[in-house]
Amino acid sequence: MALYGAAAAVLEALERGEGGLKALVYNSRFPHVRQLYALVSETLRYAAVLEKVLSGAGLLQAEKKLSPQLAKVLVYDLLFGKGLKCGGRWKALARRHRARLQAELARLKVQQKVSRNEELLSPAQAASPAASQVPRYVRVNTLKTCVDDVIDFFKRQGYSYLGKAGSVEELRALSGKKFLLDLHLPELLVFPPQTDFHDNLLYTSGHIILQDKASCLPAFLLSPAPGSHVIDACAAPGNKTSHLAAILKNKGQIFAFDMDTKRLATMNTLLMRAGVTGFQLAQQDFLTVDPTEPRYSKVTYILLDPSCSGSGMLSRVPGQEAAVGAQRLRALAAFQRRALAHALRFPALRRLVYSTCSLHREENEDVVWAVLQESGSAFRLVDAFPAWPCRGLAAFPGAESCLRASPADTLTHGFFVAVLEPCGEGAAVPSSLPAAAEEKPQCGEGTEPGAAPKKRKRKKQRVKE
């Protein structure tokens, strides 16, 4: 796919809340990821200006075949970027409208009494985005290696290991070629922001997964016991599925569903690379999965990470979260409620984790509360991970049992997690302790949600170099 088409596809996926900018770019299969990343992130930075220029010039009305995302990418490159060096027919189309677009840009500058393009950006857009403050989190894939070996590997690559972090402030202070073990999650290493490991051998061989800390919470809190049957309801591109498989030690069965063929293909590649076995991928609407089918009769754990507004993803332009329209938010929340209610219909369910990368209460606490109320007293919210500092908004009594994450409080992307369990007899799993508490990884230090960190013996296993 050509650069502009690939950039427009990433923008569309971002708008659908299908992941963060970096992940979408790297999963796009576009050969020049840095070029693609730079184009998309700059287009996002200028999105508000581009929308004004596009509407003033009437480009989308004149060119009905042009999607708003492709139009933004083309006009960004034409007016602010490298001036459409490639692009074939799209380049020709955009150039036909060049004079009108340039006039519209000039009009905006006059209106705002500025002379440079940069001055059209709000201070937040002009400043480095919050994403640049969030560390590079590296999840060790315990299906292929262990924490000690990965630490040794990075030491051999010239990084200094500073031990286990004692506070979020220590993570914030990281700089240079230094790294820490995370204070909350046992298999997570933390490097300074902007550290790029996409070309690192450990990443390309599936020994490490580049995953934001907040997005590691759902599988960590679901904590299925090895041997369990697990559903990952909205699974692609599969970082959480591979995390689940690592917790299961590849023992058990994961039923993973997603609607999107392309994302499922990427997911298949990622799972293979991560050494995941014992999973069934299905291109299926989770809402049509029949909970009474015999093959799901032993499903005791469900992870539900549905499509959302993605307003917590920091790679976006600051303030973009406000642009999610009320109608879209209502539609997303309606789907999320249906999916959560559907998930609770699986007869053997013992624990469910609901998560989003949205900041909106409508997609988070409100969804959980509505479905809990619908369920009568069949399910309850578990007070998950008491040590986690950032809690649910006070939308209903007990909402503080939910977890939130944010760049300011947890030095992560914005995120929401709720853990639900059946009340009464079905609730065989103790509330705030994962069922896999006794079954921790063979190497690495384990921290159970809510429990003090314990020293564990680490089994040596060489990382292939």
Single out the residue of 77, 104, 149, 258 in contact with ligand SAM (rule: CB under 6 A): 258
Q: Does 228 bind ligand SAM (CB under 6 A)?
A: no
Q: Does 383 bind ligand SAM (CB under 6 A)?
A: no
Can you tell me the distance from the alpha carbon of 423 to that of 435, in angstroms, rounded to the nearest whole number?
A: 16
Per-residue contact track with ligand SAM, 175 to 214, x per CB under 6 A? ----------------------------------------
Report CA-CA distances (Å) from 374 to 158, 230, 237, 354, 379. 55, 24, 31, 16, 10
Can you tell me the distance from the alpha carbon of 234 to that of 97, in angstroms, rounded to the nearest whole number?
A: 41
Strand partners, 403: 391, 417
Q: Which stretch binds ligand SAM (CB under 6 A): 109-117, 147-155, 282-290, 313-321?
A: 282-290
Q: Does 366 bind ligand SAM (CB under 6 A)?
A: no
Can you tell me the distance from the alpha carbon of 384 to that of 106, in angstroms, rounded to the nearest whole number?
A: 53
Count the residues of the shown chain that bind ligand SAM, applying the rule CB under 6 A: 20
DSSP 82: S
Q: Does 242 bind ligand SAM (CB under 6 A)?
A: no
Can you tell me the distance from the alpha carbon of 94 to that of 377, in angstroms, rounded to the nearest whole number?
A: 58
Q: Which residues are catalytic?
A: 357
- Nearest distance from residue 285's CB to ligand SAM, in Å? 4
19 vs 446 by CB, closer to ligand SAM: 19
Can you tell me the distance from the alpha carbon of 295 to that of 118, in angstroms, rounded to the nearest whole number?
A: 57
Q: Which stretch binds ligand SAM (CB under 6 A): 47-55, 135-143, 257-265, 345-353?
A: 257-265
Nearest to 438 by CA among 182, 227, 149, 276: 227
In angstroms, how far apart are the furthest CA atoms of the chain? Answer: 71
271 vs 420 by CB, closer to ligand SAM: 271
* 9-68: contacts with ligand SAM (CB under 6 A): 17-18
- Nearest distance from residue 287's CB to ligand SAM, in Å? 5
Single out the residue of 7, 185, 214, 236 in contact with ligand SAM (rule: CB under 6 A): 236
Mapping DSSP onto H, E and C, the string for 364-409 reads CHHHHHHHHHHCCCCEEECCCCCCCCCECCCCCCCHHHCEEECHHH
- Nearest distance from residue 89's CB to ligand SAM, in Å? 29
Q: Which stretch binds ligand SAM (CB under 6 A): 138-146, 280-288, 312-320, 378-386?
A: 280-288
- Nearest distance from residue 45's CB to ligand SAM, in Å? 23
- Nearest distance from residue 31's CB to ligand SAM, in Å? 22
Whose tokens are 């005791």? That residue is 300
Q: Does 306 bind ligand SAM (CB under 6 A)?
A: yes
What is the SS3 assignment for 295? helix
Single out the residue of 183, 287, 341, 390 in contact with ligand SAM (rule: CB under 6 A): 287
Q: Does 312 bind ligand SAM (CB under 6 A)?
A: no
DSSP 464: P
Q: Does 235 bind ligand SAM (CB under 6 A)?
A: yes
Q: Which stretch binds ligand SAM (CB under 6 A): 60-68, 89-97, 285-293, 410-418?
A: 285-293
Helical segments of 80-189, H only = 88-96, 98-112, 123-126, 147-156, 168-172
Q: Does 239 bind ligand SAM (CB under 6 A)?
A: yes
* 1-20: contacts with ligand SAM (CB under 6 A): 17-18
CA atoms within 13 A on the CB side of 160: 6
DSSP 318: T
Report CA-CA distances (Å) from 213 to 65, 145, 156, 184, 240. 40, 19, 24, 9, 11
3 vs 231 by CB, closer to ligand SAM: 231
20 vs 192 by CB, closer to ligand SAM: 20
Q: Which residues contribute to the site for ligand SAM (CB under 6 A)?
A: 17-18, 234-240, 257-260, 263, 285-287, 305-307
